[in-house]
Amino acid sequence: MTDPISTAPTIPTLMDDAVARTPDAPFLVTPEGTWSYAQVRDTADQLARALHTIGVGPGDRVALAAPNCAEWIITLIGATRVGATVVALNVLYREAELDYMLNESGATVLICAAEHHGFDFVSFLDDFRKRLPGVNHYVFLHGAGFSTSRTWQHLIDSAPDVDTEWEPVGILTPAVLLYTSGTTGAPKGAMLTHASLLASARAQAAHLGQRPDDAVIAHMPFNHVGGLTCTVLAAMTVGARLILVPGFHPQQSLAAIVAHGATMCVGVPTMFALMMAEPTFADADLSRVRTCVIGGSNVDPALGRRVIDAFPGARLANLYGLSETSGGCIISAEGDDLDTLVETLGVPIGDFRARVVDADDNEVDAGVDGELQIAGDCVAAGYWQRPDATTDAFGTDGWLRTGDMATARPDGHIVLRGRRKEMYVRGGYNVYPAEVENVLTSHPHVVLAAVIGVPDETYGEVGVAFVVLDDAVDVTELRALCAEQLARYKQPGEIVVVDSLPLTPSGKIKKADIKKSHLSSAG
């Protein structure tokens, strides 16, 4: 019989509940060793005391930019213990993103990897911190910092050795700030509360029948709801084990699944496709995998069938969710046949609700296309310091406007018709063209820029940028600019120099014409 799913109201009390039930159960399996639930809780409490000592308290923001690691989860638990909000940043973010998000969020502490894939964060931040006047404390993981920073271990060791009675954290307190780009290109910080995060995590765990003896591969980035809610928090609600992979690489993920006997694999379609393309995949022992969850974009029917064949003992489930729903809100129903699995997102989980509406917010009949809207406890509290954007997306009636086009079937299953008007999804990450265009047009010789998403066999979609120049510029220079300013997944796969771009009478770029012409010429 499945153990009951924890009903703890906040992230730190969820941790306490897990420790009370199974303190010595393995929680985090890392390349360096295994942490029990009690060990993680105790270290998180140390961090909470250390953060409190340097002035972090309720309502403060602690920014975190690191790959998947034990310290990431410990920071989440420790920072929320003192009532702070974790600003979850992608470790791939660079100058433009860090400048905007750290200043806009008002983060006072930055906990950051010292180095990641050859990028020296210490040297970068030693110079860059002059543009971050609000950040008072820099803490580096796995390496020494600059003169006024401290290491993670030094911060932990500085915690006073005293029992601390913490003020209870309200369930509507923002636990995590996740930045999601808007159609204007300006990132918006979605405020995910303790209540919204745990509502999604519990609903998913119940819907998929997650168990304490599950071993979940954790290779989706934790600054993404797929990694944070669908992987980490859902596992915590049942006291399951997480197998941490610092960053997705198909061979490493596949090896971890086999070595540690993973029973559950959560990923975007690209991740499954790349793992199945590995030469060692055919001989991999995947017999213990009982659940494969594919989220982030529509599942290609051929890919869905390949996953079913490759994981013969596993249940396949699609998952739909976004930052604003704090995690999954629609998942395939148990017993869905193959056609339903590959044609639909699934059904609303828990007590969440979904509807499809017309332009006037009137619900349309089954089989009619419209905008997908979501309601329920999973919906985020809005956007950080963006009241107008909050009203536009969240309204006043409890329904989140996703901007995604969908159709409801008579049986309640939701069919996704298309993503937001211009956004494309590269490897599970949402990319908004305006953000990329703003970087390109920051070059003094780029007059106009238009970015579109085009189909790609590996990543689902990739960006193609079209630029109009007023002087000769080497494309490699523009690529370097994008690499400096943007995360890797936002960088266009191709940059095309053109003499002009088609414009409407009002001067807007006709992107539909550009895309049609590009796809036609590409064959």
343-355, pLDDT tens digit by residue?
899 999 999 999 9
Structural tokens at position 139 = 């803490």
Cα gap 475→454, rounded to integer Å:
19
Q: What is the pTM assigned to this prediction?
A: 0.85
pLDDT tens for 220-245 read 999 999 999 999 999 999 999 999 99
pLDDT number for residue 188: 95
Above 80 in pLDDT, residue 523? Answer: no
Tens digits of per-residue pLDDT, 13-27?
999 999 999 999 999
Residue 506 pLDDT grade (very low, low, confident, very high; cuts 50, 70, 90): very low
Does 144 fall in a domain? yes
Asked whether residue 88 is domain-assigned, the answer is yes
pLDDT category at 164 given cuts 50, 70, 90 is confident
Query: Taking a C-beta distance cutoff of 8 angstroms, is the pair 410, 417 a contact?
Result: no
- Which of 133, 159, 188 terminates a domain? The answer is 188
In terms of DSSP bridges, do strands 264-267 and 215-218 run parallel, antiparallel, or are they unpaired? parallel
| CB-based contact 37:77 (threshold 8 Å) | no
442, 474 Cβ separation under 8 angstroms = no
Q: Work out the pLDDT band at 277, boundaries 50, 70, 90.
A: confident
Tell me the residue range of the domain where 168 lies.
33-188
Q: Which residues contact 457 (CB under 8 A, 6 or more apart)?
A: none
Average pLDDT over the chain, rounded to an integer = 92
The string of pLDDT tens digits covering residues 410-465 is 999 999 876 667 788 899 887 878 789 889 988 989 888 899 999 998 999 999 99
Q: Is residue 295 part of a domain?
A: no
Average pLDDT over residues 134-156: 94
Question: Given 188, 221, 253, which residue is the final one in a domain?
Answer: 188
Q: Indicate the pLDDT class of residue 369, thresholds 50, 70 and 90.
A: confident
Whether residue 174 contacts residue 193, with contact meaning beta carbons closer than 8 Å, is answered with yes
Q: What pLDDT score was predicted for residue 306?
A: 83
* Type of residue numbered 171: I
Does residue 473 or residue 523 have the better pLDDT? 473
**328, part of any domain:** no
Summarize the confidence of residues 206-217 as an average pLDDT.
98
Please check whether residue 163 lies inside any domain of the structure. yes
Q: Are 239 and 37 in contact (CB under 8 A)?
A: yes
CA pair distance 232, 445, nearest whole angstrom? 45
Q: Which two tokens stand for residue 343?
A: 């044609």
CATH number, domain of 50, equals 3.40.50.980
Q: Letter for the amino acid at 98?
A: L
Give percent above pLDDT 70 in the chain: 95
Whether the per-residue pLDDT at 157 is higher than 70: the answer is: yes
Which CATH number belongs to the domain containing residue 507 in this structure? Answer: 3.30.300.30
- Please tell me the predicted confidence (pLDDT) of residue 419: 63
Closest CA relative to residue 325, chosen from 267, 367, 388, 373: 373
Q: Which two tokens stand for residue 323?
A: 């930052």
pLDDT of the residue at 25: 98
Q: Which two tokens stand for residue 167?
A: 């003020």
Q: Of 188, 209, 239, which residue is a domain's last? A: 188
Identify whether 193 is part of a domain: no
Tell me how many degrees the CA angle 89-52-380 measures, rounded to the nearest 5.
40
Asked whether the predicted pLDDT for residue 298 surpasses 70, the reply is no
Q: Is residue 145 part of a domain?
A: yes
Residue 494's pLDDT is 96
The pLDDT tens digits of the residues spanning 49-90 come to: 999 999 999 999 999 999 999 999 999 999 999 999 999 999
pLDDT tens readout for residues 176-196? 999 986 445 578 999 999 999
Residue % of the chain over a pLDDT of 90: 76
* Model pLDDT, residue 1: 40
Q: What is the pLDDT of residues 300-337, one digit of tens each?
A: 666 788 899 999 889 999 999 999 999 999 999 999 99
Q: For residue 117, is it within any domain?
A: yes
- Kind and range of the H or E element at 437? helix 433-440
Predicted local confidence at residue 340, as pLDDT: 92
When comparing pLDDT for 135 and 448, which is higher? 135
Predicted local distance difference test score (pLDDT) of residue 273:
82
**What domain count does the chain have?**
2
3-state secondary structure of 451: strand
